[in-house]
């Protein structure tokens, strides 16, 4: 908008009128760089294996719709790598940020891996043969096998008492059950075996 302002002065009996004009300019606010940006997130999840000393789950995030992405987990510091490893089972909020500072988040779940076939066989044996002493809160000999990780951590005791010595459970195990325990122990005696 232009505005004209008159200015008059009197010089030796002569009236001199001058006009000054000024123009007010307004600078528009900068455009929001995220206004027309639609960031899309996809993910790839690797489940974690229970009963391991270090969680083995991972999430890899892929983003599209812009450029220069960085990534974070649960609102943490952004990083250039789009892969997050060493994750336990749980729910994570994964974030991406583009070169203009535009952000998007997505909730991602890391689950537990399914039990391996050898472990499943041993768990079945424990469930059917050890109920009175070591399950449902039973703690005979300071051993409770209610939790999967308890079975994994007591693998050596299960092997010795049920296979090598053969004195547990009191009703004994058949040759197939002993072979299933031996197969699990030889495979590595893990949840995933």
Cβ-contact 95, 71 below 8 angstroms: yes
pLDDT band at 172 (very low <50, low <70, confident <90, very high): confident
3-state secondary structure of 91: strand
Give the phi and the psi of residue 79 in degrees, each rounded to 5: -135, 160
Give residue 8's pLDDT. Answer: 55
Please count the CA atoms within 13 angstroms of the CA of 161 that sit on its side-chain side: 14
pLDDT given at position 59: 98
Per-residue pLDDT at 144 exceeds 80: yes
The region of weakest confidence among 19-28, 86-95, 140-149 is 19-28
End-to-end CA distance of the chain: 79
Backbone angles phi, psi at 2, to 5 degrees: -105, 135
CA quadruple 139, 140, 141, 145: dihedral sign: negative
pLDDT (0 to 100) of residue 14 = 58
* Average per-residue pLDDT for the chain: 87
pLDDT at 24 over 70: no
Mean pLDDT of 2-13: 56
The domains found in the chain, sorted by start residue, are 40-110 (2.60.40), 117-187 (no CATH)
**The predicted structure's pLDDT at residue 141:** 75
**Would you state the pLDDT for residue 22?**
61
Is residue 147 scored above 80 in pLDDT?
yes
Q: What is the pLDDT of residue 121?
A: 95
Q: Is the pLDDT of residue 140 over 60?
A: yes
pLDDT of residue 168: 84
Six token digits for residue 114: 């399914």
SS3 83: strand
- According to the per-residue pLDDT averaged within each range, which of 31-40, 86-95, 137-146, 171-180 is highest? 86-95
Give the model confidence (pLDDT) of 112-138 as tens digits: 999 999 999 999 999 888 877 887 777
pTM (predicted TM-score): 0.70
Phi, psi of 62 (to 5 degrees): -125, 135
Report the pLDDT value the prediction gives residue 130, as an integer from 0 to 100. Answer: 81
The DSSP code sequence of 7-50 is EEEEETTEEEEEEEEEE---PPPPP-TTTT---EEEEEEEPBPT
What are the residues whose beta carbons fall under 8 Å from the beta carbon of 125, sequence distance 6 or more? Answer: 162, 173, 177, 180, 181
Distance, C-alpha 139 to centroid of its chain = 35
- What residues are paired with 112 via a beta bridge? 48
The band of 3, judged by pLDDT with boundaries at 50, 70 and 90, is low
């Amino acid at each position: 908008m232009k505005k004209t302002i008159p200015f008059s002065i009197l010089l030796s009996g002569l009236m001199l009128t001058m006009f000054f004009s000024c123009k007010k300019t307004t600078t528009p606010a900068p455009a929001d760089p995220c206004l027309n940006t639609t960031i899309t997130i996809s993910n790839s999840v690797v489940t974690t294996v229970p009963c391991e000393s270090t969680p083995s789950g991972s999430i890899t995030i892929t983003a599209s719709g812009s450029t220069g992405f960085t990534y974070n987990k649960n609102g943490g510091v952004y990083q250039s790598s789009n892969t997050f490893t060493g994750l336990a089972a749980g729910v994570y909020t994964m974030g991406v940020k583009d070169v203009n500072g535009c952000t998007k988040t997505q909730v991602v779940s890391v689950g537990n891996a399914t039990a391996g076939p050898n472990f499943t066989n041993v768990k079945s044996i424990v469930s059917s043969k050890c109920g009175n002493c070591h399950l449902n809160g039973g703690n005979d000999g300071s051993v409770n096998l209610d939790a999967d990780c308890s079975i994994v951590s007591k693998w050596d005791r299960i092997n010795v008492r049920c296979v090598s010595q053969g004195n547990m459970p009191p009703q004994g195990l058949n040759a197939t059950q002993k072979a299933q325990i031996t197969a699990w122990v030889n495979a590595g005696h893990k949840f995933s075996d």
